Each structure stands twice: as C-alpha cells, then as structure tokens.
Amino acid sequence: MSEPAIALEGVRKQYGEATALVGLDLSVPWGQVCGLLGPNGAGKSTALRIIAGVLRADSGTITLAGHDLAAAPLDARRALGFVPDEGALYGLLTVVEHLALVSDLHEIDPAMATARGQELTALFEIDDLLGRRIDTLSKGQRQKASLVAALLPDPRILLLDEPLSGLDARAAKVLRDLLRGLADRGRAVLYSSHVLDVVERLCDRAVIIADGVLVADAPTSELLAQSQDATLESVFHQLTRAADVQGLADAFLDGV
C-alpha cells in the first residue's frame, strides 16, 4: 500500500475564540503504532474526532485508506475503528445488542460477527456480561465493551483515545499485545494517551502537539535518545514548555 493509512494536511479547528488545531499536518503509514501526545487542551481529542468524522474541520483535508473523508465519508469510515475518551455506547442496549448494531452497520456476515464477537468478548473477559445493559456496567467493563465494538469490524485503522482508562492489568496487556500484533500485520494505529511509559514500550513513533501545533514527530527511540534520562516524560515537558512540576510540588510540601 503506497498511500498512508492516515493523512492530514492543514487541518484547522476553532471553537469560538479558541483555536484547537493550527494547520495540523500528520501522516501515519500502514504497519505503525503512532503515539499522539500532548498536555490537556492540546488538541489531541479534537484531532481524533475529526479523523473519525465526529467533528468537521474548519479547513484542511483528511484522507483515510486512500479515501477523502469529505468526498467519500462512508468509504473512509469503513476503514476505521474508534474508541473515544468516553466510550460512545448506547446505555439502554445490552452488550450483545450493541455488538449486533455494530455488526449491522458494518454489514458483517452474521456468522462471522458472532464468531468474532465471541472471541473478543472472551479475550476481554466480558463474555458473561452479554445480557447486561451497558448503563449497568462498571467503567472498566464499559471500556472493554467499547474496545470489542471497535475491533469487531476488523478495521484497517484504529483510533484510540486513552484506551487503557479503567482497564485492569490483564486487559491492558491484552490490548497492548493486540495493537502490536495488528500493526505487525499491516494495520495502522493512532494511540493517544497520557501514560507515557506505555507509549515508550508500544509506539513505533511519537507525535507531540501543544496548543494545536505539532512540536515533535520522530521515532520513539530517537526521542528517547535525545532525552536527559531516556524517558518520554522529560522530552514531553521540554517540548510542551510544562511548568517545573517538581519545583511546584516541593514548594507546596515545604508549607505542609
């Protein structure tokens, strides 16, 4: 596949007087797990929602699996699996009803959908919750259901916004292993998270944005090599002009 999985050119988004994205350019090739990092309010979730077609950019172009999102939205979205920062699930449906809805929307063969759903719900240990209404599930259980729903159509591109939120240690490892395996099989993953040590271990590349502007884009190994202590945390604080957190913490503790 010569074209990238995800391509953004000059994407801009404004919320009233606030600018969320300032002409963002981003390309994610097939076979890569790309980490999307930034402080709160940097524009990460906005970027993911624009790519998923949930939000409309004010300007710029988005291409997914070779399809222009504006010109061919259905073709572009068929390539996607999306897990937002707060799982967009229908609370009044049971887990199995929600998965059936996803299957119908993606026109998956019923037998294939059933088999794949059984595999995924067993993998994330929610196969005993299929008859439960989603609004009765715990946060972690809802996150697992959201991940299963995103993976059910076997998407070529995965967009994940804080996917480990609420997950237990086993489920977190299952997800990391799945993402690595999918990328090794040629899929593309755009992974947004504040958990930098996971990004270090999982992501082939890290993109950092601050105030809607891209400030770093390099293989994760290169960013680690440039850091003072071989961690993404030090690179992140340097590039996002974060405050001296340790100094502020020490000042507070001195007054306790």
Residue pair 30/2 in contact (Cβ under 8 Å)? The answer is no
Residue pair 7/25 in contact (Cβ under 8 Å)? The answer is no
Give pLDDT tens digits for 40-70.
889 999 999 999 999 999 999 999 999 999 9
pLDDT of residue 102: 95
Closest C-alpha among 134, 145, 190, 197 to residue 171: 145
Q: What is the mean pLDDT of the chain?
A: 91
The answer on pLDDT for 135 being more than 90 is: yes
Give pLDDT tens digits for 1-17.
579 999 999 999 999 98
pLDDT band per the 50, 70, 90 thresholds, residue 97? very high
E strands along the chain, which residues?
Answer: 6-15, 18-28, 33-37, 59-64, 67-68, 80-83, 157-161, 188-192, 205-210, 213-219
Give the mean pLDDT of 129-143.
Answer: 96
Element (H, E) at 30: none
What is this structure's pTM?
0.90
Q: Domain 1-79+155-220 is classified in which CATH homologous superfamily? A: P-loop containing nucleotide triphosphate hydrolases (3.40.50.300)
Domain boundaries, the chain: 1-79+155-220, 88-154
The answer on pLDDT for 209 being more than 50 is: yes
Residues 6 or more apart in contact with residue 218 via CB below 8 angstroms? 205, 206
Distances (CA, A) of 221 to 75, 194, 200: 34, 18, 8
Other C-beta atoms lying within 10 Å of the C-beta of residue 231: 15
Longest dimension (CA), the chain: 64
Strand partners, 161: 192
Torsion sign (Cα): 142, 140, 51, 99: negative
Please provide residue 175's backbone torsions phi and psi, each rounded to the nearest 5 degrees.
-65, -45
Distances (CA, A) of 73 to 52, 77, 83: 10, 6, 18
Instruction: Indicate the residue type of 5.
Output: A
Give the mean pLDDT of 188-210.
Answer: 93
Closest C-alpha among 68, 25, 28, 13 to residue 158: 28
Tokens of 191: 């992974």
pLDDT more than 90, % of the chain: 76
Give the mean pLDDT of 170-175.
Answer: 96
Give the mean pLDDT of 25-34.
Answer: 97
As a residue count, the chain comes to 256
Which residue's entry shows tokens 């797990």? 33
> Left if phi > 0, otherwise alpha if psi is -120 to 50, otherwise beta: which for 212?
left
Closest C-alpha among 83, 237, 62 to residue 155: 83
> Left if phi > 0, otherwise alpha if psi is -120 to 50, otherwise beta: which for 116?
alpha
